[in-house]
Amino acid sequence: MNNADAPRSLELWLGSRRVGELREQSNLWVLAYDQAWRMDGFDLSPALPRSAGEIIDGGSQRPVQWFFDNLLPEEGGRRLIASDAGIDAADAFGLLQRFGPESAGALTLLRPGQQLPPPALQPLTDAELSARIRALPRQPLTHGAPKRMSLAGAQHKLAVVLDREQLWEPVGTAASTHILKPDHEHVDDYPHSAVNEWFCMQLAAACGLPVAQVAVRRVPEPVYLVRRFDRLGDGLQAQRRYALDGCQLLSLDRLYKYQQATSDNLRALERISRMPAATRIALLRWQLFNFFIGNSDAHLKNLSFLRGANGWELAPHYDLLSTSVYKAPDWGVDELVFPMGNTRRYAAIGRDDVAAFGDSIGVPRKLALRHLDELAIAIRRESHALLQSYEQGATHAVDPGEARLLRQIVFGPVTDALKTVELLR
């Protein structure tokens, strides 16, 4: 166990620039910006203004701890990496000390005086990756990796570099370019999750939603690969971009990613963005797409914003997959995270609820319904085309179980959602 009275600290770096220092003592966290960063840097988040110089958490309001805790994995993923490292899963600061060199986002957290080796890439063979997947959940995917890495979220993930179809693991100061996820460990309850997410992300792209590039690789176990939206460049030239998720931007504890999923908080994110009108429409379409595919896990940490020269802008969407399909044939009783009108239940959502949701985030009712109809037409067309493309197997071997799941998505949640909004009669 950690001695709560012993002060601990970490240096915060963004690329080659030191941002400041993160300290923890007696269970209170402190962020101290460096003077040089205060002069020409930027606020790490709206709740952490550099003009304050030093920000000290209180007993109930803990913006510093909430911000940095959001960089770590959640739930089982946190427990697994903590156990592998011999650290109490409740010791968030200790986990950041261990995994800060490659956490979620652009910040690098180092122990005082710690220096990382020069950037390099270490090959990750399919055989090695397959062995790590088969070792789940006894060991995390990062077990045996050359760099201690931590990614936010609940599912098992590994940060890698994909360059010319070869997988590599970053070493030293090298930045990862992709995140990979194998099938869910509970295969009986959530089968074929890798191809599920690939299909839904491809469908979103075909319907005009901004999403990251994705692929499925077989080692031979299927793994889902997604290009990191917070990276620029490839290989050793990859550079980190500064991005925050919804909980970080709103200064919320990660535990409130569902409870605080409200229209009011979507409006707050719109106001933070540099293009509120465009963000408003993008959030509407994101919510509608989640409704059509049956995604009951689209919460505040599934929205991120990139910091540009002129402010915050909504990042490409990620973590889009059909969760309701795993509740077949009762997906109609599943619920959205963000309510539509007065309901979250899929089977109860109709056009009036969509119009009410649009109104709640500042989109006129007629415009909201127009986007609903346009997206519904696109999803109906593109979901069948994408399913047919997968089943033809022109570029891959068709897995019968995967094909069955994709058909269940298209002819289950998607078709029922279309009926609900009166596109199919």
**Which residues have a catalytic role annotated?**
297
Q: What angle do CA 202, 242, 262 make, to 5 degrees?
A: 65
Compute φ and ψ for 94, nearest 5 degrees: -60, -40
Alpha helices (H) in 86-188, listed in sequence order: 92-99, 126-135
Q: Other C-beta atoms within 10 Å of 251: how many?
A: 17
Strands 178-182 and 8-14: unpaired
DSSP classification of residue 84: H
SS3 384: helix
Tell whether the torsion through CA atoms of 302, 306, 312 and 316 is positive or negative. Answer: negative
Close Cβ partners of 85 (under 8 Å, ≥ 6 residues apart): 95, 98, 99, 148
Q: What angle do CA 413, 419, 422 make, to 5 degrees?
A: 145
Q: What whole-number distance in Å separates Cα of residue 297 and Cα of residue 152?
A: 15
**Can you give the C-alpha Rg of the chain in angstroms?**
22
Determine what percent of the chain falls in helix, strand and coil, rounding each to the nearest 5.
40, 20, 40
Q: Other C-beta atoms within 10 Å of 68: how many?
A: 26
**Phi/psi zone of residue 86: left (φ > 0), alpha (ψ -120 to 50 degrees), beta?**
left
SS3 233: coil
